[in-house]
Structure 1
Amino acid sequence: MNIPASVTELPTDASRKGALPKGAMEIRNDYGVSGFGGACPPPGEMHRYIFTVHALGIDKLDLPKEASNALAGFMIRANSIGKASITAVYNR
């Protein structure tokens, strides 16, 4: 969150490695920790994963580090001026 528009890529595990751009942050995921938990559908099922990037009409969201996903999503949608999504599918 709060990644400047000038950033075009992030290294793998940027948050964990301390390589996020200044002012950027990563909030907790649905597992209750920061970071990507990985794709894990039940065996034999295919799941969709939708990744969305939003352009905001403000410089940054001023949220506490422990903000919930619900609060972050609300604030993102309230300030979004554009977005792009890509859908990936995975099965095992």
Structure 2
Amino acid sequence: MDGLDVRLGFDRFPRAYTCDGDDTSPGITIEGLLTPYLAVILDDPDSSGGTFTHWLIWNIPATDQIPEGIPPLGKVEYPIPAVQGMNDFSRVGYGGPCPARGESHRYFVRVYGMPVLLDLSPGSTRIELETLLRGTATQYGETMALCEREWVPAIPGR
């Protein structure tokens, strides 16, 4: 599988992209794309319950920059056309990092290059997406960023 260079522009998630901020999806830069479509999976392998999926998005037309702020809709037309799946918050679209207070987790952004559109309905699951990607993706790249939520001690008397 051909490699992709994937970058976020940060190594620690800014607050705006997390559950403590606006829960805005981050922009992603991709270099080396040779296919007409992209798919992205963002997950947290450090979650106490096992790998937690924060974002599934596919059928993105070839681009070197996925913009930030993709709306939480199954079928997106703006700022880019795409289809989004169900995250592990049981919502369609992006759900930002939200580790337990005082913990630091790794968040992987996995980008796949595909030669064809995926025939997958909005709101589909990670298992459904990965099943199709296994037989379709011809390029892959990933990057990782950390997120740590500040531990806030209890205030006596409250």
Gapped regions of structure 2 (runs ≥ 5): 1-57, 150-158
- The aligned residue for residue 103 of structure 2 is 45
Q: Which has the higher contact order (CA 8 A, sep 6+)?
A: 1
Quote the Cα distance in structure 2 between the aligned partners of 1:87 and 1:45: 16
Structure 1 residue aligned with 2:78? 19
TM-score (norm 2): 0.50
For residue 143 of structure 2, what is the aligned residue in structure 1? 86
1:46–1:91 CA contact under 8 A, matched in 2 = yes
SS at match of 1:37: coil
Instruction: Determine which structure has the larger strand proportion and give its number.
Output: 2
Q: Is contact 2:108-2:145 (8 Å) kept?
A: yes
C-alpha RMSD of matched pairs (Å): 2.1
Name the TM-score, length of structure 1 as normaliser.
0.81
- 2: distance between equivalents of 1:26 and 1:66? 6
Q: 1:87 offset after TM fit, Å?
A: 0.4
Q: Which residue of 2 aligns with 1:64?
A: 121
Q: Percent identity?
A: 27
User: Could you tell me how far 1:20 is from its partner in structure 2?
Assistant: 4.9
Match of 1:10 in 2: 67
How much has 1:9 moved relative to structure 2?
2.8
Structure 1 unaligned regions, length at least 5: none
- Kindly provide the amino acid, as one letter, of the partner of residue 41 in structure 1: P
In the alignment, is the contact (CA less than 8 A) between 2:71 and 2:93 conserved in 1? Answer: no
CA contact (8 A) 1:15 1:25 kept: no
Work out the number of aligned pairs and report it. Answer: 90
- 2:131 corresponds to which residue? 74
Deviation of residue 15 (structure 1)?
4.9
Larger radius of gyration: 2
Is 1:55 matched with 2:113?
yes
